[in-house]
Chains A and B, each alone.
Chain A
């Protein structure tokens, strides 16, 4: 089949994917076409819902995105912070330790 890309472990055909997606997008727009198009621009209807407050009163900080990760992985981060000393000797030490672990795993796996 023309355009089939094979990586040795996986395969996909971007041309077939593109043609299929194009057809599906047309079908989706066809469904959307039957929906109501109108609304009342510039009225209260278009104000973002904010439980009665003005949106500017509830600023959302971009860095809050990772709050869940920081909270869930708190112990992990604390452990990492402890070994993150800033001393080059310590980083080389950890580098060697990780290399030794990786080589051990690869040796056991027979690779």
Chain B
């Protein structure tokens, strides 16, 4: 019981870590994107300044908007994003609430920030916001399918190699690195699942090419068109923190290695080494899954988003699952 209350006291630290790292990686992302487009780009502290600026701007509530819902949804979006950080492994350590929730819970919780965005858009009483909310709903329904296939594939693989273990537990997932459980065919299957998960990350974050819900140049910010001031600041924080959430989830599923064993470091130093290594892995994942893709390609149309996830991403994910299945079948022969 004492351990539980101690963990509860650590929640603000995890929250501050998520907020700070999220804004930091947003700054890095903007600089890298600018350099790839031969621009100088903003300073790394720009996201912090943007947040500060939004907090001093008028908090406008549009005429005829559903006021309580309009004000509640930014709080809901940020809160539900931050709570996921308590259930995923962070900084090379087990989740703060390890044993209190599993991968399935995290997948469910990932839906909430998007739903808050959708409800916020619908409550705005603005045509652009309603279009944006409708698009966000479509994007949400589109990427959930491949995301489910990826999660189930990993759990299914673990159920064969770790019979009787709770395969959705992050303890089991991170202690059994999936790359070592498969042969060459399964290895290719896992690479395919990893690539699809990077594309799902773009949809989760609402970034190019899947940013149809906000699409500044088409629908003037779409779902966020009417948000300003501190409400918009909270949505901004929710988006930047989601990078840490999704990145941590990808690291837990596919890249859970720690570096302390490699350098034979123990004790507190091991935690520092692992935390730094985690930040490097997070940078690599966000660079590959977000910065690189958003600079390299243009925005898709809404029907193309659906095709990209439901037809292409799902086909690749299913191919990955089949390859893993064949690989496991060959190993058991």
Contacts and interface: CB of A to CB of B under 8 A. Distances in A.
Nearest to B3: A1
A104 interface: no
B79 A36 contact: no
Interface stretch (B39-47, B133-141, B260-268, B287-295): B133-141
A68 B308 CA distance: 12
19 contacts: A1-B4, A13-B101, A17-B100, A17-B105, A23-B12, A28-B82, A29-B75, A31-B78, A46-B61, A46-B62, A47-B63, A48-B125, A48-B126, A49-B126, A50-B127, A69-B303, A71-B302, A71-B303, A72-B306
Contact of A58 (B61, B80, B86, B127): B127
Interface string B315-328: 00000000000000
B55 A35 contact: yes
B229 A10 contact: no
A48 B63 contact: yes
Interface stretch (A37-45, A81-89, A94-102): A37-45
Contacts of B138: 65-66, 68-69
Nearest to B105: A12
Given A35-B230, A49-B128, A71-B302, 18 more contacts: A4-B99, A4-B100, A11-B101, A16-B97, A17-B101, A20-B11, A23-B11, A27-B82, A31-B78, A31-B234, A36-B56, A36-B229, A39-B61, A48-B126, A68-B138, A68-B305, A69-B306, A72-B311
Q: Which 3 A-B pairs have the closest CB atoms?
A: A35-B230, A71-B303, A72-B306
B307 interface: yes
Interface string B207-245: 000000000000010000110011001100100000000
B126 A35 contact: no
B302 A21 contact: no
A17 B96 CA distance: 12
A14 to B, nearest CB: 9
Interface string A56-73: 001110001111110111
Contacts of B75: 25, 28-29, 32
A23 to B, nearest CB: 5
Given A10-B168, A25-B75, A68-B305, A20 B126 contact: no
A72 B8 CA distance: 46
A1 B2 CA distance: 12
A21 B105 CA distance: 14
Contact of A45 (B60, B141, B306): B60
